[in-house]
Chain A
């Protein structure tokens, strides 16, 4: 049982990257909004938590389904007023309104007040992308990129960092953080640590057994095998001595 659990958790091992981003501060980048005014990200996160993600308008791939899913999930949450969703484009050619489409909004059904779309300004774009771990590459006039969803706290630090489409458990975890639900511990181990006994799963805010646990089980298991081995190497002595055991009661 135990073994299976340990093995399983090893196979399911989560993405270790997250610890590189957690609690780091993001640069206070500026962006252009749809009414073409310039705005700082801090003007949102200083007021309430920000769910920040990056996309670009002409994206033929992931951006559209990604943002649609985010929109779906958020509508399930209900407590929308507690935070701001900020979608920023890293493509200088974008217009903020083009981005609406990605999340299924248009002129007839414009985004609600807790959604903000904008296009990053040149000067702070690169540093923001690095701080969020967003990697882009121009291929044939289009960007290849990963997707990142980050929860930014009121001081501009990354409280949650999810790469790719968040799973249900990750959404759970994110919403727990948004609504300040209690998780008694999280990990900030750096990557020189070669193994640990439990792996923190930021997605669900819970801890999974990890193969480092074998280090603790190890001594007990080795002892077990040693006893078995000792028993077999002493077999001959035992048959020889069987008759003399009775002396024990006489002594």
Chain B
């Protein structure tokens, strides 16, 4: 195995785990503020919220990319500089982001809905720094995803990488699901990062020509969610691509093949994902009704190909497999389960009639934390565990597997259930304190703090164990 790829993947994973711990601490502080257990004040709350959101979205996006990069490097020569530049950009971007939020007090939220950055800006340089952070991250990641696309295209034509010959039955090279899903996701990633570029450019034009030019809030909101929603959605698929590669082997089964329905599914997903973001604008009656309906239809069709195929495959793989469970396979298997649960939460919210009373309530963080905290994060942790088992000094002790896995599952489940209850009880999201109207939020926040702390403990143990087993590799 090529040592550079191994070492650099390790560097990515350790960085990701550390940033994750910090971001969880931000999250727990927010929940404590809402529970009235600490008093950081509204400004600090929103600074934490902005940092938490972007750190989390960023960290699990790069985790997915690092996984793809690594598996690709097992097959092909992957240019190294893509990953290296992305790493540098990620570090620089995170530093600038934290400066903009903690020093210049920028607090407009991680997806900075126009025109809030001009109002919730802290110091005048706040929005500029924040947009620069976004630009650095966006540029680095865009480059990385192009490098990975080129790597795939060096072997396959576009139609081959999209596995069209597996649908039509024409002759062609075998394309593994991993290649297909990575290719589809990377295309989506490229599109949404380009949307971020357009968004940032529009912001900078308005900043430069202050007062004489402004942007259409509806256009900006469309761009914002095209970027934000699609990014978060695609990063889950990046994790899935790796799952398709590793999971069957963990279960002692033959590798997954790209059958005609897998090929059709992911080609459909490629398109569907681009339209699902409309569900973020349901309560904007200015958006034409046709778009709203497309939003609901696409949101409901999105899980059919991607989720249903995956769930079915994973279930049938495990069924009577007599497999030996490791932390990696446990995380994959139950990650898929929680992804399904979060998906149900998501599509219920994606019904326009339901959205009327769920939009911007805690139902929203409920469902996306379910398939991030317990889905996407599990996928990436599974990859990291597999990686550590493969290359680390020793395997994880079975008792450790049990403790860490239980902490993550129990902590995570309790944490998101507090959000679901909040949603059902009309508790709004993104507030630092609960007024009398919605004071159920306070006790739910307390409950969440307890469970999130369990999760944090589990993550600390995981990180310590991972570093102990693998850090030696980094310097060998």
Q: Which residues does A use to contact B, with CB under 8 Å?
A: 184-185, 187, 189-190, 192-198, 207, 212, 215-216, 218-220, 222-223, 226-228, 230-231, 233-234, 237-238, 241-242, 245-249, 251
18 contacts between A and B (CB under 8 A): A185-B286, A192-B214, A193-B214, A195-B219, A196-B219, A198-B286, A207-B288, A215-B202, A216-B222, A219-B197, A234-B153, A237-B154, A237-B155, A245-B155, A248-B75, A248-B173, A248-B176, A251-B74
Within 8 A of A (CB), among B195-245: 195, 197-198, 202, 211-216, 218-219, 222-223, 226
Give the 8 A-B CB pairs with smallest separation, nearest first: A196-B216, A219-B194, A237-B154, A219-B195, A223-B191, A234-B153, A184-B285, A185-B285
Cα distance A219–B195 when bound, in Å?
5
A238 in contact with B195 (CB, 8 Å): no
A226 in contact with B150 (CB, 8 Å): no
A231 in contact with B157 (CB, 8 Å): yes
Chain A's closest residue to B275 (CB) is A220
Q: Which B residues touch A226, using CB under 8 A?
A: 146, 190
Q: Which of B154, B157, B173, B223 has the most CB of A within 10 A?
A: B154
Q: Which B residues touch A189, using CB under 8 A?
A: 216
Q: Which of B74, B155, B190, B219 has the most CB of A within 10 A?
A: B219
A228 touches which of B146, B158, B194, B219 (Cβ 8 Å): B158
Taking the nearest CB of chain B, how far is it from the CB of A204, in angstroms? 13
Chain A's closest residue to B156 (CB) is A238
Known: A198-B218, A219-B198, A249-B174. A234 touches B191 (CB 8 A): no
A248 in contact with B215 (CB, 8 Å): no
Taking the nearest CB of chain A, how far is it from the CB of B142, in angstroms? 10
How many residues in B have their beta carbons less than 8 Å from beta carbons of A? 39
Known: A185-B285, A212-B216, A227-B149. A251 touches B191 (CB 8 A): no
**Interface residue SS majority, chain A:** helix
A238 in contact with B157 (CB, 8 Å): yes
Taking the nearest CB of chain B, how far is it from the CB of A176, in angstroms? 16
Q: Which B residues touch A234, using CB under 8 A?
A: 150, 153-154
Taking the nearest CB of chain A, how far is it from the CB of B73, in angstroms? 12
B192 in contact with A227 (CB, 8 Å): no
B222 touches which of A197, A242, A246 (Cβ 8 Å): A197
Taking the nearest CB of chain A, how far is it from the CB of B144, in angstroms? 14
Q: Which B residues touch A197, using CB under 8 A?
A: 216, 218-219, 222
Q: Is B274 an interface residue (CB 8 A)?
A: yes
Cα distance A190–B287 when bound, in Å?
18
A219 touches which of B74, B158, B192 (Cβ 8 Å): B192
**Interface residue SS majority, chain B:** helix
B187 in contact with A238 (CB, 8 Å): no
Q: Which of A198, A223, A230, A241 has the most CB of B within 10 A?
A: A223
Cα distance A241–B191 when bound, in Å?
28
Q: Which A residues touch B158, using CB under 8 A?
A: 227-228, 231
B216 in contact with A193 (CB, 8 Å): yes
Known: A227-B187, A238-B153, A248-B174. A219 touches B226 (CB 8 A): yes
B155 in contact with A241 (CB, 8 Å): yes
B194 in contact with A251 (CB, 8 Å): no
Q: Which A residues touch B176, using CB under 8 A?
A: 248
Q: Which B residues touch A219, using CB under 8 A?
A: 191-192, 194-195, 197-198, 226
A220 in contact with B274 (CB, 8 Å): yes
Chain A's closest residue to B173 (CB) is A245
Cα distance A235–B74 when bound, in Å?
22
Known: A197-B216, A197-B222, A248-B174. A223 touches B190 (CB 8 A): yes
B274 in contact with A195 (CB, 8 Å): no
Q: Which B residues touch A241, using CB under 8 A?
A: 154-155
Q: Which B residues touch A223, using CB under 8 A?
A: 187, 190-191, 194
Cα distance A184–B292 when bound, in Å?
13
Cα distance A125–B161 when bound, in Å?
72
A238 touches which of B154, B212, B288 (Cβ 8 Å): B154
Cα distance A94–B258 when bound, in Å?
85
Known: A192-B213, A228-B158, A247-B75. A215 touches B285 (CB 8 A): no
Q: Which B residues touch A230, using CB under 8 A?
A: 146, 149-150, 153
Cα distance A197–B195 when bound, in Å?
14
Cα distance A248–B226 when bound, in Å?
35
Q: Which A residues touch B154, using CB under 8 A?
A: 234, 237-238, 241
A215 in contact with B174 (CB, 8 Å): no
Q: Which of B212, B213, B216 has the most CB of A within 10 A?
A: B216
Contact flags B64-77 to A (C-beta < 8 A → 1, else 0)? 00000000001100
Q: Which B residues touch A187, using CB under 8 A?
A: 286
Q: Which B residues touch A190, using CB under 8 A?
A: 214
Taking the nearest CB of chain B, how far is it from the CB of A26, in angstroms? 27
Q: Which A residues touch B212, using CB under 8 A?
A: 192
- Kindly list 8 other residue pairs between chains A and B, CB separation below 8 angstroms, not including A223-B191, A230-B149, A251-B75: A207-B288, A212-B219, A216-B195, A219-B192, A223-B187, A226-B146, A248-B75, A248-B173
Taking the nearest CB of chain B, how far is it from the CB of A220, in angstroms? 5
Contact flags B52-74 to A (C-beta < 8 A → 1, else 0)? 00000000000000000000001
Known: A220-B274, A238-B157. A193 touches B215 (CB 8 A): yes
Q: Which A residues touch B190, using CB under 8 A?
A: 223, 226-227
Cα distance A233–B154 when bound, in Å?
9
Q: Which of A184, A192, A251 has the most CB of B within 10 A?
A: A192
Taking the nearest CB of chain B, how far is it from the CB of A79, in angstroms? 27
Cα distance A218–B222 when bound, in Å?
12
Contact flags B152-168 to A (C-beta < 8 A → 1, else 0)? 01111110000000000
Cα distance A212–B155 when bound, in Å?
38
Taking the nearest CB of chain A, how far is it from the CB of B125, in angstroms? 24
Chain A's closest residue to B222 (CB) is A216
A231 in contact with B187 (CB, 8 Å): no
Chain A's closest residue to B257 (CB) is A249
Within 8 A of A (CB), among B74-88: 74-75
Q: Which B residues touch A194, using CB under 8 A?
A: 213-215
Chain A's closest residue to B153 (CB) is A234
Cα distance A215–B227 when bound, in Å?
12
Q: Which B residues touch A249, using CB under 8 A?
A: 174
Taking the nearest CB of chain B, how far is it from the CB of A58, in angstroms? 43
Chain B's closest residue to A247 (CB) is B75
Q: Which of A187, A216, A228 has the most CB of B within 10 A?
A: A216
Cα distance A177–B198 when bound, in Å?
38
Q: Which A residues touch B214, using CB under 8 A?
A: 190, 192-194
Q: Which B residues touch A207, using CB under 8 A?
A: 286, 288
